[in-house]
A and B are shown apart, each in its own frame.
Chain A
Amino acid sequence: MGQEARPNWDNPVQFVLACVSYAVGLGNVWRFPYLCQMHGGGGFLIPYLIMLVLEGIPLFYLELAIGQKMSLGSIGAWTAISPYLGGVGLASVVTSLYLCLYYNIINAWSFWYLFHSFQSVLPWAECPLNSNQTGPIEECDKATPTQYFFYRETLNISPSIEENGGIHTGQAMCLLLAWILTYLFIVKGIKSTGKVVYFTAIFPYVVLFIYLIRGFTLHGALNGVVYMFTPKLEQLANPTTWINAATQIFFSLGLGFGTLIAFASYNEYHNNFERQAIIVSIINCGTSIFASIVTFSIYGFKATVNYENCLERTRVLLLNTFDLAEDSINMDNVFEWIEKLNTTYPVQFAEIANKLEGCNLESELDTAVEGTGLAFIVYSEAIKNMPVSQLWSVLYFFMLLLLGMGSMLGNVTAIITPLRDFKFTSNISDELLNGIVCVFCLLLGLGFTTTSGNYWFVMFNDYGANFSLLFVVLIEVIAVSYIYGIKRFEKDIEDMLGHRPNWYWKIMWAGVSPLLLVTLFIVYIVNYIQGGTPTYQAWNKELGKSEVMEYPVYGQVFIGLLMVSSVGCVPLTALYVYCKKRKHGNHHTRQRTVNTVST
């Protein structure tokens, strides 16, 4: 037997769990709750579920079908559909490469926080003292201890993207560990990945469930859940709501990276991926909603704690200024007393008026945060107020780690599978190829551990994947529906599954999804142009808070490069194949004439 058979998943459950592990990632935990909060609470579920049906599931099905039919990675699969479309696969690989570079940094941060949770007092619970030991460090005093721990001790962030320092050794070590762990999981290709996904897919649900129970028993949690979930249906009239729902479904399912094609390429030819596609998509959405219930209960707890602390500080201020007995003011009548004292002692009251913070529970609940800010600052602030905070901290960051690692497995597989399909890598063993890819990504990723690394991370996060993915998936769906042909595609699916896809799928692939994608694409471009110079949030050490700054010129050029380098693969590859075909065409006609002459 000449060539080794392509490795397969041990059973279909491994494939489903791998897809779940990949799709259910950090975005479900930190992006969806934010969108839910910004766009009308419970009402956001309506556009979200509609978009799931209109574009999420059909596109997911499409990618699985392509992967399973061609049994090749993204580059090989698209070349098989049409030689001019090999660039689509290449664009997917480049985007996955960018994602791999910066995504493991988040895992490094999760490791850092996880390791720092094994202390009697969590390091982000209190401010460290300054060198004179007279008080807390100024930066920490102006901000909060959790922000200080994230920006100063974890990142050691510089004031702007232009100023750079050295590499943060702790971060670099955690990144090294993250890549070594990733290598351990993928070292034998899907033989090892298939075993790991049992854990990375299931354990986060265990933690989420534990947190759900913990969250609901926290003081003030119900405030958060009720406030967030009460639907504000007027938000549905806002087109941004629908755009954000569509974009969130799109990115949450991980379409366009080539991972789904890669995973499906290891399936048995007759695997029933139609049912699996629906199941994975529904699990992904269900997880988003589940995670946002947990997040909102944590929000409610944090907001209530902050509100009550604010009331307490006001109460103490009033007691101390007016020397009233301690039990005269309690939490319930603080506001009445403010009024009373204002009228009876207006002069003295005016003196402390500027120290009085307005305590408002709703404004505390309204602070919406997403992304790394939510995961590492807001959540750790809530955790430090819980009893036995070390245990909750360990559980939470371990869950973040598993979610991130599960997605990383998919990302790295999306790069390695197409590479494996090329002839020149068939001599290199699995382990060596995987090792080379991991080392390469590690070395480049070290750039994100420098003092300005977080700003580059945000740039990659915001611009590295979004535009290219929209473009890639748009080309994908148009290529399959119109270039390859729906009829041919139908026949392939019938060959694999035994029945043709029904009219719903065909309408989505040929009509609705491309229209939606074109709309999203245009809206993205319009927003980008109208947004003016791209900006980012820089951490100001003196003020102890973030401020908006514009990217310098080389930053903007780099953003352009990021977007063009992956999208440009498509036309460039088409051009290259066209030129090669023309050269071969000329060569063939020359050969034919020689033969006829010799006979």
Chain B
Amino acid sequence: MLGQIFVLLCLSSAWAQQLCMPEASDGYKVRLSINTALGDQAYVWNENEMFLFRATLAFAMRSYSGGQDYNVSNIVVCAETPRVSFWFVVTAPLNSSRLIDRSDVEEAVRKSRNRINSAFLLTDRSLEFIGIPPILTAPVTPDTPQWLIVFGVVMGAVGAGIVVLLVTSVVEKKRKKNKKSGDEDIEEEPREKTEGNGFARDGVYNMSFSDDDPVTQM
């Protein structure tokens, strides 16, 4: 009796192993890069971790199929390597000789990818399912591109600077003109008296005879 049960168990596990092989049509290869991802905090991959993996995957199948009773025994693993990579297939909960379709497994994994990753403290890049590409999240693009904001600030500052400079120069010119017209009234009288003795007004200021130092110090 015991012998028979033993033989049956061996047969069933052997049967399950036959379902799972590398390059199985309904299986996926999983690759973990624990050392690269976690460095000092890396844990050792052992039977317990493998059990966790199978349990997490069973959870994923349950969530996807809406409550069907997937168990750890439904996730069959084989071809483990020191890399920490292995193949797995998923068998149906009621009929352990029937494999779940590739596409269903893919959808299930995709749906719960985040949960699977966090169970192992890994990311999409360090826990790879070969053949299931990770869903890329597009970066958030705000409505106004950020550079326009900075551009607006700088343009505003420069524009304000120009306006200030132009206005001050116009104001200065007006002030000079007023002052000049005030001075001219006073100058008119002596010029009328001294005829022809005014200085030449269309000469050019000759720099050579300025009173500067002969050699300007740096």
How far, in angstroms, from A328 to B147 measured CA to CA in the complex? 46
Q: Which chain A residue has the least Cβ–Cβ distance from B168? A: A188
How far, in angstroms, from A268 to B34 measured CA to CA in the complex? 74
Asked if A12 contacts B147 (CB within 8 A), the reply is no
Residues of A close to B207: CB separation below 8 A: 71, 268-269
Tell me, yes or no, whether A271 is within 8 Å of chain B by CB: yes
Residues of B close to A2: CB separation below 8 A: 201-203
Q: At the interface, is chain B mostly helix, strand, loop or mixed?
A: mixed
Residues of B close to A5: CB separation below 8 A: 205
Asked if B216 contacts A173 (CB within 8 A), the reply is no
Asked if A323 contacts B210 (CB within 8 A), the reply is no
How far, in angstroms, from A261 to B81 measured CA to CA in the complex? 77
Tell me, yes or no, whether A121 is within 8 Å of chain B by CB: yes
Partner of B165, one of A1, A135, A192, A325: A192
Asked if A325 contacts B159 (CB within 8 A), the reply is no
* From A326, A429, A498, residue with most partner B Cβ within 10 Å: A326
Query: With A71-B207, A495-B208 given, is the CB distance from A174 to B151 under 8 Å?
Result: yes
Asked if B203 contacts A270 (CB within 8 A), the reply is no
Tell me, yes or no, whether B138 is within 8 Å of chain A by CB: yes
Tell me, yes or no, whether A542 is within 8 Å of chain B by CB: no
Tell me the total A-B contact number using a CB cutoff of 8 A.
117
Tell me, yes or no, whether A516 is within 8 Å of chain B by CB: no
How far, in angstroms, from A373 to B150 measured CA to CA in the complex? 25
Tell me, yes or no, whether A180 is within 8 Å of chain B by CB: yes
Asked if A319 contacts B83 (CB within 8 A), the reply is yes
Tell me, yes or no, whether B5 is within 8 Å of chain A by CB: no
Asked if A183 contacts B162 (CB within 8 A), the reply is yes
**Which bucket holds chain B's interface residue count?**
35 or more
Residues of A close to B201: CB separation below 8 A: 1-2
How far, in angstroms, from A270 to B218 measured CA to CA in the complex? 11
Number of interface residues of A (CB under 8 A): 55
How many Å from the CB of A26 to the closest CB on chain B?
20
Partner of B34, one of A111, A129, A326: A326
How far, in angstroms, from A135 to B216 measured CA to CA in the complex? 67
Tell me, yes or no, whether A276 is within 8 Å of chain B by CB: yes
Query: With A177-B155, A326-B33, A431-B166 given, is the CB distance from A497 to B205 under 8 Å?
Result: no
Asked if B158 contacts A320 (CB within 8 A), the reply is no
Show 12 A/B contacts (Cβ-Cβ < 8 Å), sorted by A. Answer: A3-B204, A6-B205, A116-B147, A177-B154, A177-B155, A180-B162, A181-B158, A184-B158, A268-B216, A316-B33, A323-B81, A326-B35
Q: A residues near B, CB below 8 A?
A: 1-3, 5-6, 12-13, 16, 71, 111-112, 114-116, 118-119, 121, 128-129, 133-135, 170, 173-174, 177, 180-181, 183-184, 187-188, 192, 268-272, 275-276, 279, 316, 319-320, 323-328, 429, 431, 495, 497-498
